[in-house]
Amino acid sequence: MNPGFLTVLAVLSTGVASVLAQNDEAPSWMEDVTRMPPGGHANLRPVKLGYTLSWNNRVNAGKFQISVVEPEDGSDQFIGDASGQSSGFARVLWPYDFRARSVITQESLRPIVFQLSEKDRNATNSYDIIFESDRQVYTTTAQKKNEKAITATSGFDFDFGQDVLSSAFYLRSHSLENGEKISMVVTPFNRPYLTELKVMGRETRKIKGKTYSTIRLDVRVGKINPDLSIKTYDKIKQTSLWVSDDEYRIPLELQSQISVGFVSARLIDLKWLE
């Protein structure tokens, strides 16, 4: 998942279509986005996962939970629900809570709709993203403390967008051979990000006292600007993701090295729901 808790208050500027019209060719990163159908690890048993957030392996900063189920009506979908909050000393400095819900088509592992609400000390924000065949439509409602809520709608024209959960589903479905690269356009809030992952190899890794066989992927994330250029972040030195090297490909740890240390999310609980 995109590292860290982020609060985005500004709405993505429109005008992407006009930018494309003024250029003879789409930017090279669009051509490099992975559009292969899901691979051989597409199926996932209903599961509930719990994670802890920390800074420099010393300060507990928060926790979050993710559950994935299939609808009771038998429709061809996965339903993902997530919730989390800051905790401990971090909550004293920054009280934060969020809830998210994603509806994903099982056959394509593409999102249908993604909803997110987040609240900190001074503001409450909600995001509703509808994924159409060739674009994403964002509705954002932002409300600062003691002020009136403001709602705005914007969009981004792209034919293979993902939300945070569907991107994890799509990633894990592939073979993830050493050296393999996966590139996705992921929208966690109301603006898209280019996420590029490269499989660095297999590792044995101890996480919260338990030893796992893992696949390590290095991650690069850049914000897609309205002119379709990519903004990278110098303060983010390196981000790595470890998933279990088995049929389930469970995300085990996400670690981001930044200028003041590193922040991480680690699996602490796994419960199969059937």
Cβ burial, residue 268 (10 Å; 0-12/13-18/19+)? middle
Q: What is the pLDDT of residue 7?
A: 31
Taking residues 168-187, what's their average pLDDT?
96
- Hey, which residues does 195 pair with through a beta bridge? 184, 221
Is pLDDT above 70 for 268?
A: yes
The residue that leads in pLDDT, 11 or 42, is 42
Q: What is the pLDDT of residue 257?
A: 86
Question: What's the mean pLDDT when you consider all of the chain?
Answer: 89
Is pLDDT above 70 for 77?
A: yes
Q: What is the pLDDT of residues 88-115, one digit of tens each?
A: 988 998 999 999 999 999 999 999 999 9
Q: What is the pLDDT of residue 234?
A: 78
- Hey, which residues does 86 pair with through a beta bridge? 62
Instruction: Pick the closest to residue 191 from 248, 245, 152 (CA basis).
Output: 152
Give the contacts of 143 (CB within 8 A, at least 6 positions apart).
Answer: 123, 124, 125, 149, 150
Is pLDDT above 80 for 34?
A: yes
Q: What is the pLDDT of residue 24?
A: 52
221 contacts 194 by C-beta, under 8 angstroms:
yes
Q: What is the pLDDT of residue 107?
A: 93
Taking residues 80-92, what's their average pLDDT?
93
Half-sphere exposure (Cβ direction) of 113: Cα atoms closer than 13 Å: 5
Give me the phi and psi of 21, to 5 degrees please. -65, -25
Structural domain boundaries of the chain? 16-272
- What's at 45, amino acid-wise? R
Is pLDDT above 50 for 11?
A: no
Q: What is the pLDDT of residues 205-243, one digit of tens each?
A: 999 899 999 999 999 999 999 999 999 887 777 899 999
CB atoms within 10 A of CB 84: 22
Taking residues 191-207, what's their average pLDDT?
96
Instruction: Tokens 């932002």: give the residue.
Output: 142
Q: What is the pLDDT of residue 213?
A: 98
The residue that leads in pLDDT, 240 or 57, is 240
Instruction: Tokens 């009506």: give the residue.
Output: 73
Q: Where are the beta strands (DSSP E) in the chain?
A: 47-55, 59-69, 77-86, 97-105, 110-119, 123-131, 135-144, 150-157, 161-162, 181-186, 193-207, 210-224, 230-231, 236-244, 251-258, 261-272
